[in-house]
Amino acid sequence: MASIRYFGHAAFELRFTGLDGREKRVLIDPWLGNPLSPVSPEDYAKSIDKLDYIVVTHDHGDHLGDTEYIAKKTGARVIAIYDLAVELGKKGVKTVDGNIGGRIKVDDVYIVFTPALHSSSHGVPVGVVIGGREYRVYHAGDTGLFTEMQFIHELYNPDIALLPIGGHYTMGVDEAVKAVELLRPKIAIPMHYNTFPPIKADPEEFKKKVEEKTSTKVVILKPGEEMSYP
């Protein structure tokens, strides 16, 4: 049984069976120091027996977050866009670099970087499709809406989409509803809202609009909550 745990903002932990048949634990955008997070980076690193990968969508502080600390504590490899991976490598972090285009050749997980309409200082921002035997999850990163989300559905067919709804820096509720129409996941989980005043949003409004318009189910995870899948 695979699972997804939310730590608030854009931070998630995925657990699933890898393509090699072994259990994988992956963190995405691990800013565990965020104001909503139920666990500190220190306590998180202490609480787990192993971490396989950390995926970072871009280098803004609220996404890069506690990557360096957790990577060094756990020995996890960080998968990031080439330019950011180079920077992290200089700090002694183990990395896998990749770029937007096709599957990244990591044997034990399925991973593809996708475009994101946003900014960053090192390389371009990305979204990611990642998973193993039970599911593929699309984490949109920080992004505005773009029509190629339709290709993410057609090419990678993610079961679960993690979508920003906070507006101001990313899609707001109405753009994220449109994203669901293009991505057609089984489940959508809202993220990147209510961490700071400018990104205040109502996840119930997102849920209502998505479920009126599409057959996708919206699961609202509170920080600290975990969802099993399937």
Alpha carbons within 13 A on the beta-carbon side of 214: 20
Long-range pairs of 200-207 with CB within 8 A, sequence gap ≥ 24: 200/166, 201/165, 201/166, 201/167, 201/172, 201/173, 202/173, 203/165, 205/173, 206/165, 206/173, 206/176, 206/177
- Closer to Zn ion by Cβ: residue 66 or 142: 142
Q: Judged by CB under 5 A, which stretch of 64-72, 135-143, 185-193, 209-217 contacts Zn ion?
A: 135-143
- Give least dist CB 138 to Zn ion, A: 17
CA distance 32 to 46: 13
- Give least dist CB 122 to Zn ion, A: 12
What is the helix (H) or strand (E) element at residue 128, kind and residue range? Answer: strand 126-131
User: Among 142, 165, 176, 203, which residue sits at the site for Zn ion (rule: CB under 5 A)?
Assistant: 142
29 near Zn ion (CB under 5 A): no
Q: Judged by CB under 5 A, which stretch of 19-27, 33-41, 58-66, 193-201 contacts Zn ion?
A: 58-66
- Residue with nearest beta carbon to Zn ion: 60
Cβ partners under 8 Å of residue 49, min gap 6: none
- Closer to Zn ion by Cβ: residue 13 or 62: 62
Beta strand pairing call for 12-17 and 2-6:
antiparallel
Look up residue 23 and give its two tokens.
């259990």
60 near Zn ion (CB under 5 A): yes
13 near Zn ion (CB under 5 A): no
**Residues of the shown chain interacting with Zn ion in the complex, contacts defined by CB under 5 A:** 60, 142
